[in-house]
């Protein structure tokens, strides 16, 4: 999106995607030797993998990349990406990069380039953060512009064969903004509180364009797909009318505003998989997390799912405020008795704490967190002091032993996952891969692997 916006503004743009590179530093060095760049923007999507069991800190990986860039180029450096919206100052200080985009990249980046080209001061531009002589400053993003729905021409910028052969989907966003107030979440910080909706007709046109380019697996990457409900429904109706052949999915759905009408519309619109982020099936935890729904809505959602054929991935987050042994048992009991064998469940344990969230305040009040806010860049996790993390891990493993369709953090960081995706592609499996969890785990166990 950002590269295409810069190209549209008249700049010559090269995009270096390090996703499938075994030796990113060598590839980067070769690119820098080949071309002299005026500006180099880095997309920093993830700070870490938010996995308490096997944490990985990606900002650490950024440092040698930046060292290489600085060795071979004197280009101006600009950081951007979802993680910059969460902790811009900390990331800029950790990397010593003086400029970052903290607004919609496709709007702010071309404006920033214009300033740089003209050698004009850029520090006051809306949506830009600066770190000059150790002084940090961040400007509010430009006043809410409508969300452009025309997605980029991915084939122009990326090796789409490599993505498709890993069973990746093509991401499409239908809105920005989040009205939920979950205590741990950063979505409102990244996207804002107010909804900025894309026109459903325009989203459908984008999808039709992707289909004609040969990309038929589309994933809606909205923070919560079914909120606002009417927008999701209107989009489904436009999709139904278009009679497109794409396979759609969204694994970011809430049990709030989740009913038969919506699910029927999603089935008719071409959805092949959904994810329900319920986090827990116990009231004290749902209240502690401020999810905006209670266990009765989680149970009601399970009944809706059972009345439809759409495969569903259930997403749980254990260890939040209010969690006790009792609530963990309630959630696992719900999962064991309500999740159909053809569906799947993912349990993550421990919650990544971010500065400025209500969870940070809760953790400090409970004495679980003592580090200052500016030291929360390297991953830190919250687990309710009323229950031991190891006990939860053991309970989830026990449940996974009898339910082959259940996964935990180890499944996501499983080193053979890319290989399994590629094998799945060869076997002509279609995304989402989680639909095959019970078969994959059985095969891996039969050859003696811990899965
Ligand atoms: C959808 C989503 C997913 C989907 C992705 C599906 C898909 N097919 O793409 C799934 C569920 C698979 C997923 C997985 C993960 N996710 Co996720 N995901 C999101 C979510 C909700 C939206 C991301 C998105 O696509 N946005 C739409 C695009 C257009 O926006 P964008 O990437 O932010 O880019 C804009 C700007 O940032 C900027 N920009 C971007 N790059 C650049 C570069 C430059 C130079 C400039 C100037 C600007 C710029 O401009 C862009 C256009 O406006 C975000 C939260 C959020 N609300 O943003 C979390 C989020 C990005 N994910 C996160 C994480 C941690 C993960 C996982 C590591 C979780 C895990 N353990 O598996 C994995 C990593 C996957 C990977 N390969 O990177 C975290 C990252 C924070 C952190 N702690 O690191 C986030 C912020 C959520 C959170 N708070 O925890 N994710």
Question: 209-252 pLDDT, tens per residue?
Answer: 999 999 999 999 999 999 999 999 999 999 999 999 999 999 99
Three-class SS state of 352? strand
Res. 101: pLDDT tops 80:
yes
**436 in Cβ contact with 375 (< 8 Å):** no
The residue whose CB lies within 8 Å of the most ligand 1 atoms, and thus the one to mutate among 5, 45, 109, 347, is: 45
Give the position of tokens 């920093």. Answer: 44
Strands 170-172 and 175-176: unpaired
Res. 37: pLDDT tops 80:
yes
Of residues 59 and 418, which shows the higher confidence score?
59
In order of 88, 138, 181, the CA distances from 358 in angstroms are: 19, 22, 9
pLDDT interval class at 278 (50, 70, 90): very high
What are 374-388's pLDDT values in tens digits? 999 999 999 999 999
What is the pLDDT at residue 148? 65
Spatial separation of the C-alpha atoms in residues 104 and 109, rounded to whole Å: 8
Q: How far is the CA of 43 from the centre of ligand 1 (A)?
A: 10
What are 134-167's pLDDT values in tens digits? 999 999 998 766 666 779 999 999 999 999 999 9
What is the pLDDT at residue 150? 75
Res. 411: pLDDT tops 90:
no
Res. 419: pLDDT tops 80:
yes
Q: Quick one: which of 236, 221, 161 has its CA closest to 191?
A: 221
Residues with CB under 6 A from ligand 1: 1-2, 41-43, 45-51, 78, 80-83, 86, 101, 104-106, 109, 169, 171, 173, 186-187, 190-191, 219, 221, 223, 251, 352, 412
What lies within 8 Å, CB to CB, of 161 at 6+ separation is none
Q: Quick one: which of 249, 293, 243 has its CA closest to 268?
A: 243
Spatial separation of the C-alpha atoms in residues 408 and 102, rounded to whole Å: 32
Nearest-CA residue for ligand 1 atom 21 is 223
What is the pLDDT at residue 145? 64
3-12 long-range Cβ contacts below 8 angstroms, 24+ apart: 3/152, 3/157, 4/106, 4/152, 4/153, 4/156, 4/157, 5/105, 5/106, 5/107, 5/109, 5/110, 6/109, 6/110, 6/113, 8/110, 9/110, 9/113, 9/114, 11/110, 11/113
Give the position of tokens 């003592």. Answer: 370
Determine the distance from the C-alpha atom of residue 197 to the mean position of all C-alpha atoms in its chain, rounded to a whole number: 19
Res. 315: pLDDT tops 80:
yes
Spatial separation of the C-alpha atoms in residues 237 and 247, rounded to whole Å: 15
Spatial separation of the C-alpha atoms in residues 51 and 410, rounded to whole Å: 9
Give the position of tokens 């030291």. Answer: 375
């Amino acid at each position: 999106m950002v590269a295409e916006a810069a190209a549209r503004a008249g700049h010559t743009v090269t995009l270096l995607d390090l996703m499938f590179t075994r030796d990113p530093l060598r590839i980067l060095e070769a690119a820098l030797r080949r071309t002299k760049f005026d500006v180099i923007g880095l997309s920093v999507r993830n700070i870490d993998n938010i996995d308490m069991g096997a944490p990985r800190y990606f900002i650490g990986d950024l440092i040698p990349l930046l060292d290489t860039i600085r060795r071979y180029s004197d280009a101006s450096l600009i950081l951007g990406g979802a993680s910059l919206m969460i902790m811009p100052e900390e990331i800029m200080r950790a990397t010593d990069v003086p400029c970052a985009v903290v607004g919609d990249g496709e709007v702010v980046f071309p404006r920033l380039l214009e300033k740089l080209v003209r050698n004009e001061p850029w520090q006051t531009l809306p949506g830009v953060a600066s770190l000059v002589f150790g002084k940090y400053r961040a400007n509010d993003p430009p006043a809410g512009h409508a969300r452009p729905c025309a997605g980029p021409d991915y084939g122009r910028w990326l090796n789409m064969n490599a993505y498709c052969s890993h069973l990746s989907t093509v991401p499409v966003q239908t809105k920005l903004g989040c009205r939920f107030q979950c205590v741990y979440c950063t979505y409102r910080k990244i996207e804002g509180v107010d909804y900025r909706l894309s026109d459903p007709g325009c989203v459908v046109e984008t999808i039709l364009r992707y289909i004609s380019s040969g990309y038929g697996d589309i994933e809606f990457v909205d923070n919560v797909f079914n909120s606002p409900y009417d927008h999701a429904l209107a989009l489904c109706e436009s999709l139904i009318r278009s009679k497109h052949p794409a396979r759609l999915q969204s694994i970011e759905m809430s049990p709030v505003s989740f009913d038969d009408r919506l699910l029927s519309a999603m089935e008719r619109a071409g959805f092949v998989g959904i994810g329900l982020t319920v986090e827990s099936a116990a009231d004290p935890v749902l209240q502690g997390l401020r999810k905006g729904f209670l266990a009765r809505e989680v149970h009601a959602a399970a009944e809706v799912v059972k009345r439809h054929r759409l495969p569903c991935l259930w997403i749980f987050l254990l260890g939040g405020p209010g969690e006790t042994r009792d609530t963990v048992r309630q959630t696992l009991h719900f999962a064991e008795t309500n999740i159909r064998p053809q569906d799947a469940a993912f349990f993550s344990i421990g919650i990544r704490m971010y500065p400025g969230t209500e969870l940070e305040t809760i953790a400090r009040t409970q004495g679980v967190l003592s580090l200052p806010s500016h030291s929360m860049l390297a991953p830190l996790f919250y687990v309710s002091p009323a229950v031991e993390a190891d006990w939860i891990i053991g309970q989830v493993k026990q449940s996974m032993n009898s339910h082959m369709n259940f996964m935990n953090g180890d499944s996501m960081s499983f080193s053979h996952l890319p290989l399994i995706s590629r094998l799945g592609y060869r076997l002509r499996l279609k995304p989402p891969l989680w639909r095959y969890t019970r078969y994959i785990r059985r095969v891996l166990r039969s050859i003696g692997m811990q899965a």
